[in-house]
Amino acid sequence: MERTELENLGEFGLIKRLSKHIKNSNPTTVLGIGDDAAVIDAGDYYTLITTDMLMEGVHFDLSYAPLKHLGYKCAISNFSDIYAMNGKPTHMVVSIGLSNRFSLEAIEELYAGIISAAEVYGVDIVGGDTVSSKSGLVVNIAAYGKVDKDKVVYRSGAKDKDLLVVSGDLGGAYMGLQILEREKAVFESTPGVQPDLEGHDYILERQLKPEARKDVVEILAQLGVKPTSMIDISDGLASEVLHLCDSSAVGAHLYEEKIPIDPTVVSAATDFNLDPTICALNGGEDYELLFTIAQSDYEKLKGNPHFTFIGHIEEGSSPTLVARDGTAHELKAQGWDAFLEKKKGDSETDSQV
């Protein structure tokens, strides 16, 4: 029998291969695999469905991720996928695989984080599964939401000359992870040393307790702006721009100088001899929203502190990064590859297999 190694395919290659065999037949299936969430016709509205699996040792490290924060993050990463469809999450089911290394109190901590996120975002926990794991902790959450039929936003709707907009700022979660990994390494080589996390509150919170951009969906509705396309930033800006361009069959010009990066991210990146732009482009888990709007909506978002215009759609061109010096570069994603040895924290994904 033939044997094709997964590392030769990568995650998105695997998804493409597996998806090929899937044929949907249910007339209520509006959109299956290929966006942040599936879209099901529920009659008066659309139901949105998404799921995420997080594995210990791959997506999180319990030596520095408190269980409560971990639970919170698992939940919001799903909510973020629903917001990326311009929807509202309403229900979730939670599966947990755990070994007897965990006590009841530990699991209650994890659950407290999930419940806290459920309360903050107005989502009900309606079911789940708890099973025994022979090794690490596994958390799988599936979230459901709804969206008015005329409000749903796909990855595929970007049109020529639309403006590329991003919420918040980028690279923080990635830099937070670098700090945590550094302090863990110091602690492991010199036990007893207290971790030096001072001054890094913002980026640590971006990594350990990120929020999903519920507010963005609400603000856009208030401003009367319906994005032409949208995706959440879980794998890094570059990867998401490429997904959006690929789904919409367009190119884009992304301007390096426009990418919003918090000064504390710049300063931490400098400490690590990292280019802040690279952190923003390839560091994952920021859970901001990337979207496009028609030029006619520009005035509605102009000057709004939640949003930054970072470029525009160019039909017939490739996705391009325009550097500060004006030179143009083909936009590439370091990408997420589940099957190569890599740093933790780059491995979030919201891809629908």
Binding site as annotated, residues: 36, 50-52, 59, 81, 111, 128-129, 155, 232, 234-235, 285, 336
- At position 160, the amino acid (one-letter code) is D
C-beta of 23 vs 324, nearer to its own copies: 23
Least gap, CB of 223 to its own copies (angstroms): 26
Measured N-to-C along each axis, helices 104-121 and 67-83 cross at an angle, to the nearest 10 degrees, of 30
Least gap, CB of 178 to its own copies (angstroms): 20
Least gap, CB of 281 to its own copies (angstroms): 22
Name the 3-class secondary structure at 231.
strand
Distance, in Å, from the CA atom of 245 to the CA atom of 332, rounded to the nearest integer, reads 12
> Alpha carbon of 131 to those of 17, 33, 60, 62, 139: distances in Å?
30, 27, 19, 19, 10
Least gap, CB of 335 to its own copies (angstroms): 14
C-beta of 309 vs 339, nearer to its own copies: 339
Residues annotated in a binding site for ATP? 111, 128-129, 155, 234
Burial zone of 335 (CB within 10 Å; 0-12 exposed, 13-18 middle, 19+ buried)? middle
Please give the DSSP secondary-structure letter assigned to residue 56. Answer: B
Least gap, CB of 114 to its own copies (angstroms): 9
Are the C-beta atoms of residues 79 and 122 closer than 8 Å to each other?
Answer: no
Are the C-beta atoms of residues 81 and 232 closer than 8 Å to each other?
Answer: yes
C-beta of 5 vs 150, nearer to its own copies: 5
318: its two tokens: 């490739």
C-beta of 17 vs 161, nearer to its own copies: 17
Full DSSP string of 10-34: HHHHHHHHHHHT-----TTEEE-SS
Which bin fits 326, alpha (ψ -120 to 50), beta or left (φ > 0)? left
237: its two tokens: 């800006």
| Strand pairing class (124-132; 229-233) | unpaired
21: its two tokens: 């065999």
Residues annotated in a binding site for substrate? 59, 285, 336
C-beta of 15 vs 322, nearer to its own copies: 15
End-to-end Cα distance, the chain: 25
Full DSSP string of 22-76: -----TTEEE-SSSSSEEEE-SSSEEEEEEEEEEBTTTB-TTTS-HHHHHHHHHH
- At position 314, the amino acid (one-letter code) is E
Distance, in Å, from the CA atom of 277 to the CA atom of 18, rounded to the nearest integer, reads 33
Residues annotated in a binding site for Mg(2+)? 36, 50-52, 81, 129, 232, 235
C-beta of 60 vs 291, nearer to its own copies: 60
Least gap, CB of 22 to its own copies (angstroms): 5
C-beta of 111 vs 187, nearer to its own copies: 111
Least gap, CB of 83 to its own copies (angstroms): 16
C-beta of 50 vs 320, nearer to its own copies: 50
Least gap, CB of 248 to its own copies (angstroms): 19
Helix (H) or strand (E) holding 90: strand 88-98
